Copies of this chain bind each other. A is one copy, B any other.
Amino acid sequence: MLTYSFEDIKPEPLYLHLYKCIKNDILNGVLLPKTKLPSKRSFAKNLGVSNITVENAYAQLQAEGYIYSVPKKGFYVTEIPKAVHKIKDQQTEKNIKKHIQNSYIDVSNQYEVDLVSNRTHTDNFPFSIWAKLMREIISEKSSELMEKSPWGGIMELRSAISTHLKQFRNIEVEPEQIITGAGTEYLYTLIIQLLGYNKIYAVEDPGYKKVAQIYKSNNVACEYIPIDNSGIIIEELEKHHADIAHISPSHHYPTGIVTPISRRYEILGWASREKGRYIIEDDYDSEFRLAGRPIPTLQSIDVMECVIYINTFTKSLAPTIRISYMVLPKKLLERFYDKLSFYSCTISNFEQYTLARFIKDGYFEKHINRMRNYYKNVHNKLMKAIKNSKLADISTISEEGSGLHFLLKIQTELSDKEYIEICRRNKINVSCLSQYYNEDNDNNIDRQHILIVNYSGIRLEDVSRTVELLCRPIL
């Protein structure tokens, strides 16, 4: 009969030790397939352990499929297919190490000044207030915090957003029309599932590259539509047979173009001409328009229910707050409910409660106002510094009064690539308008030599240094 030693074994249950011994023998071929194992009783006696020990070991082996039982006969060893041999791939191992690095490199830390990533500076986030609210939520909402969030988000947050939208964007919607999600990227993928994979999605060219990337990654047709000085060109939408237009009429990136009211109506007209046409109005960053009153959104003048409005708190608050939302027209809300409400909300309700209170108690408004002032100061100081620099005579600033960036056209013999490279060597990260077009077209002189200056990440005290670094290539 099989015999195993129970002396000097690890401090583990006896049955576990026995299980391991038998399993090893099966895997090593000592116990061949179809071998009958000893009966529990006699095995226990032989090993000097209790029946229950053998029983537990057999139960575990059986559960894992190493042995099988034949009623009234006993236990037998299973035939286990041989595992294939491990392939060591040196190259993959090497790449893994590369990814370890890539995963943790924060681009903004590689440079002294970063004018590319348009993120807000974290210094300015009212962290102590946020922390205070988090503490309040922890102590007041212990039971709510443990509940699952409804699919569209908790009502407190959606109500707060609805009130905010009314006050700041003149958008009048029911809280129920607001669907929250962990980032706009996630919401785009929900929109695709909502509107359909057989649709043609149109994005602006030039434009924010990630939007097209997401459509392509989600396997839907994505067309690049040229823009003119008023925004997306309607004729081009028609020409490309677009069904869905994904646009930023209040703040086009990177040109800064604001679509005037006449074009807005034309876009709405385009959408209403054919059934199934929709507009995704990406209002990203609209809080930081620095001059005049905000321009009416497409959502607020849309009477045909063909606009999906989308915005995020990631930019207006802090990159770590991954809360975005979309406003569905009522007719789409029903479709969303039928098709997609099986998805769980992707935001923890703890963050939802905190943000809801942050908005409701007026902190969000205060924060926006403070940030607008701050950015205005950075902007003005930056303009002045450019005027007093070597750039003054060889550059033109163009800004459309929206958002936290402007274009700087430079008279230079350097190609865009060369300019960027010299900048990077000087520890300043900058991008050019030409990079935001779908295809590089070096022959198109209008697109060349135009730097995009995202100043939301520059500290006030770093403005002079920024301009100094920007001048380096032309010295």
Contacts and interface: CB of A to CB of B under 8 A. Distances in A.
A66 B168 CA distance: 20
A301 interface: yes
B103 A150 contact: yes
Given A96-B174, A155-B104, A348-B351, A63 B265 contact: no
Contacts of A45: none
A112 to B, nearest CB: 18
- Number of copies of this chain in the oligomer? 2
A322 B296 contact: no
A102 B176 CA distance: 10
Interface string A333-368: 110010111111111111100000000000000000
A160 interface: no
Interface stretch (A182-190, A372-380, A415-423, A458-466): A182-190
A278 to B, nearest CB: 15
Interface residues of A, number: 114
Interface in A100-148: 100, 102-104, 106, 119, 122, 125, 127, 131, 134-135, 138-139, 142-143, 145-148
B293 A320 contact: no
A152 interface: yes
A441 interface: no
B99 A127 contact: no
Interface stretch (A79-87, A383-391, A425-433): A79-87
Contacts of A151: 103
A65 interface: yes
A49 interface: no
A28 interface: no
B320 A149 contact: yes
Contacts of A296: 64
A303 B96 CA distance: 17
Given A134-B138, A342-B213, A401 B63 contact: yes
B99 A176 contact: yes
Given A186-B346, A293-B19, A344-B183, A261 B96 contact: no
Contacts of A258: 63-64
A24 interface: no
Given A19-B293, A303-B84, A319 B146 contact: yes
A316 interface: no
A139 to B, nearest CB: 8
A142 B119 contact: no
A127 B147 contact: no
Q: Chain B CB within 10 Å — which of A268, A272, A348 has the most?
A: A348
Interface in A43-91: 56, 59-60, 63-66, 68, 78-87, 89
B230 A65 contact: yes
A5 interface: no
A428 B293 CA distance: 56
Interface in A291-320: 291-293, 295-296, 301, 303-305, 314, 318-320
B134 A263 contact: no
B268 A334 contact: no
Nearest to A346: B182
A197 interface: yes
9 contacts: A56-B292, A60-B293, A65-B262, A78-B261, A81-B269, A87-B303, A96-B176, A96-B334, A99-B176
Interface of A: 16, 19, 56, 59-60, 63-66, 68, 78-87, 89, 92-93, 95-96, 99-100, 102-104, 106, 119, 122, 125, 127, 131, 134-135, 138-139, 142-143, 145-152, 155, 174, 176-177, 182-183, 185-186, 189, 193, 197, 210, 213-214, 217-219, 230, 258-266, 268-269, 272, 291-293, 295-296, 301, 303-305, 314, 318-322, 330-331, 333-334, 337, 339-351, 401
Given A80-B265, A92-B331, A127-B142, 13 more contacts: A63-B292, A66-B260, A78-B260, A84-B269, A96-B334, A99-B176, A99-B337, A103-B151, A119-B148, A148-B319, A182-B182, A214-B343, A314-B344
